[in-house]
Structure 1
Amino acid sequence: MTLALGLLAAAIVIGVAAPAYLRLAVTPRVRPGLALAGWASSVLAVSLLVPAAGLLLAFPAGSGLDGLIGMANTCVNAVLSRGEVVWADIARLGGAAVLLGMTVRVIAVALVTLRRHRRDRREHVTLLRAVGHADGRVLWIETPVPVAYSVGGRDATIVATRGVARLSAPERDAVLAHEQAHLRGRHHLLVLLADIAAVALPFIPLFRLAPDAVRVLVELAADADAARRHGPGPVRSALLSVTAGQAPNTALAMSRDAVDARLLWLENSHLATRRMPVRAGYALATVVTTVPALLAVAAVAALVTLYCLVAAG
C-alpha cells in the first residue's frame, strides 16, 4: 500500500502545486513549447497516477503488486494487532473506489467530448469544402475579410479567406506558418485534453486552470515557430490584420486568444533561449513533471518506514 499512497501523494502534489511552478516558465526568456510541454505532461501525469494508485489500493494486501516498498499493510498489522486490520482495509477499498470513480468519470467525459468534437469538426469541414477551394491542406474561402484558423484531426485543415491571400507576402506566409505549427504540434489535441480534464475533475487546480493556460501557450508556440521562419515583424502585423471571424470553438484561430499578450511576447522574443533543442526542452519538461512525483513517493516511503520503526520500538 505504500507505493499506492506514494502515487496518490504525487498526484496531489502535481495537481495542486504544478500551476505555481509552471507559471515560472511562462516568460519570453523561455521557449513557449517548454511551458506547453510542462502543462501537458503534468495533466497527463495526474491522469495516470490517479488510476494507478486506485488499482494498487484495490488489489488485496500481499498480492505483490506494491513491490519492495509496499510495507504499509504489513507494518500496521504487525504493530497494532498482529492480524488483519479491518479499518485499514475499509480505508484502502474506500480510497480505491474514489480514485477509480474519478477515473471512470474522466473516461466518460472524454468519450462524450471526443464524439461531439469529431462530429462538429467533420460537419464544419464538409460544409466549407462545399463552398471553398482546397489547395493542399489550405481551404480557401471567398470572403474579403482576412480570417484564418486551423481544424485538427485526421482531416486536419487550415481555413483561410481570400482576405488573407491579399495580405502582403510576409504577412500571408506568417499566417500560414502559424496555422501549420498548430497542426504539426498537435495543439488541437492538447487543448482538447485540457478541456476534458477541466470538465471531468474541476476541483483539481491543475485541471481547472489548464484550458486557459494551454490555449494561450499553443498560440505563443505557434507564434514563435512562425517568427523563427519569417521574423517577428510579419507575425505581429498579421495578428493585427487577421480576425477570428466565425471560427468554431473546436478550431484554433490566429487572432482570438490573448492577442495583446502575444504582441508583447513577440516584441521581447529576441530574449528567448534559442540554443536549447526542441527535444531537450521536452526532456526538461518531463523532468519537471517526474521529480515532484518521485519526491512524493520517496517521502511517503520514508514516513511509513519511520512510523514502523517508532511504533515497533
Structure 2
Amino acid sequence: MSLALALVTGAAAVAWWGPAALRWCFRHVADPVAMLLGWLGLLVAMIATFLLATVMLLAPGSTRQWALHDLARVCWHWAQPSRPAAVDEVVGAVGALLLLTVLARFTMTCTQRAYRAHRARRAHADLLTLAGGPPASGEAVLWIPHPTPMAYSIGGSRGLTVLASAAGDLPAEQLAAVLSHERAHLRERHHLLVGAVEGLAAAVPWLPLTRQAPSAVRLLVELRADAAAVRECGPSAVRDALLTFAGAPHPPSALSMAGAEVAIRLQRLQGYRPDRRNVLARAALASATLAAPLVVGVAAGILFCL
C-alpha cells in the first residue's frame, strides 16, 4: 500500500467513524471548548490529509520521491501530451476534481449564507437606528414588539442582540442570563463557526463527519454560551431562561437562546460545577483529532502489508 493510498484510507475512516468517537467523548468530557476543538480538528485533518494524498498521487514518479518543493515539476510533468497517465495519476486527478467541486460548492454556499445574514443584519440595524441606536455603553440590543419571549443574536462586525418585548416582563436575573448568553455568542464569533461547518455540510453532504458537524457544533456553542452565562448569573437563572425561551422562533442565520438541544443543555446544567476548564482535555482532543487520519492510515498500511 502506497503512502498516498494509506492517507486516503485514514481520511475516509475518520470521516465515517469519527462522529461516533466524538459522541463517546462528549459523554465523558464536560468542557464544550475541548469538544469544539475535537470536531474542528477532525474536519481540518480529514480535508488536509485528502488534499495531501491527492497531491502525492499527482506527483511524477513514485511517492518516495515526492516533496513539497516539486509542485512546479508536477505541473510540467502533466503538461506533456505524449505521456500516458499512470493509474495513481488518474486517481489523483479524480481526487483533485472532487476537491475543486467541493471548494466551489463550499464557496457558493457560504456566499449565499453570508448574503442572507448581511440582509438580516442590515434589516435589524435599520430597526435599531429607528429605535434610537445603541446606548452609550455601545452594547447593541434591539427590542421588537412580539407577544412571545424571543432572544437571539445576529453576528457580524457589528453584531447585536434581539429581544422581544415580552422578555421585558421576565425576572431581572433571567434577562441578565439571556443577555450574557447572547453576548458570549457575539464575543466568540460563534456565528462564523456555525456558518463554516454548515457550508461544509452543504458542500459534502455524503460524509457522516461533515453531515453531523453542524448540529454538534450548534449544541457545543450553545453549551459554551450557557457556561458564560452561568459564570455571571448562576445556573438557576440560565435554567429558567432556557425553559422560558424554548421553542421561540428566530432567523436561520441567528443563534437563539434556546435554539439547540434544550434537554441536553438542561441536563448539563443540573450537574454544573463552577470550574470546568480542562486544558489537558483541550490539548488531548485537538492533538488526537489532528493526528487521527495519519495514524489510522499508517496502521491500515501496516496491516495491509503484513
| TM-score over 0.5 for the pair | yes
Give runs of aligned pairs for residues 230-245 of structure 1, distance below 5 A: 230-242=233-245, 245=248
Distance apart, 1:193 and its partner CA = 2.2
Q: Does 1:127 align with 2:123?
A: yes
Q: 1:291 to 1:20 in 2, by over 3 A?
A: same
1:296 aligned partner: 296
1:23 aligned partner: 23
Q: Distance in 1 between matches of 2:182 and 2:296?
A: 39
1:161 paired residue among 161, 164, 182: 164
2:201 aligned partner: 198
- Aligned sequence identity (%): 32
Out of 161-170 and 248-257, give the one that drifted further. 161-170
Give runs of aligned pairs for residues 62-211 of structure 1, distance below 5 A: 62=62, 66=66, 90-132=86-128, 133=131, 134-135=133-134, 136-144=138-146, 145-211=148-214
1:73 aligned partner: none
1:32 aligned partner: 32
2:12 aligned partner: 12
1:283 aligned partner: 283
**Cα shift readout 1:114-149 (whole Å, capped 9, x = no counterpart):** 221121112112112222344334331232532111
Distance apart, 1:108 and its partner CA = 1.1
The amino acid that maps onto 1:206 is L
Distance apart, 1:60 and its partner CA = 0.9
Q: Which runs of 5+ in 2 are unaligned?
A: 68-83
Q: 1:90 to 1:155 in 2, by over 3 A?
A: farther
User: Is the contact between residue 152 and residue 189 of structure 1 (CA under 8 Å) also seen in structure 2?
Assistant: yes
User: Is the contact between residue 40 and residue 190 of structure 1 (CA under 8 Å) also seen in structure 2?
Assistant: no
Q: Distance in 2 between matches of 1:275 and 1:212?
A: 23
Q: TM-score, normalised by structure 2?
A: 0.82
User: Is the contact between residue 45 and residue 291 of structure 2 (CA under 8 Å) also seen in structure 1?
Assistant: no
Q: 1:245 to 1:302 in 2, by over 3 A?
A: closer
User: Is the contact between residue 7 and residue 298 of structure 2 (CA under 8 Å) also seen in structure 1?
Assistant: no
Distance apart, 1:62 and its partner CA = 4.9
The amino acid that maps onto 1:20 is A
Give runs of aligned pairs for residues 248-267 of structure 1, distance below 5 A: 248-267=251-270
Q: Distance in 1 between matches of 2:63 and 2:295?
A: 25
User: Is the contact between residue 150 and residue 182 of structure 1 (CA under 8 Å) also seen in structure 2?
Assistant: yes
Out of 53-62 and 289-298, give the one that drifted further. 289-298
User: Is the contact between residue 3 and residue 63 of structure 2 (CA under 8 Å) also seen in structure 1?
Assistant: no
**How many residues are treated as equivalent by the alignment?**
284
Q: Does 1:219 align with 2:215?
A: no
Distance apart, 1:246 and its partner CA = 4.3
Q: Which runs of 5+ in 1 are unaligned?
A: 68-85, 308-313
User: Is the contact between residue 131 and residue 141 of structure 1 (CA under 8 Å) also seen in structure 2?
Assistant: no
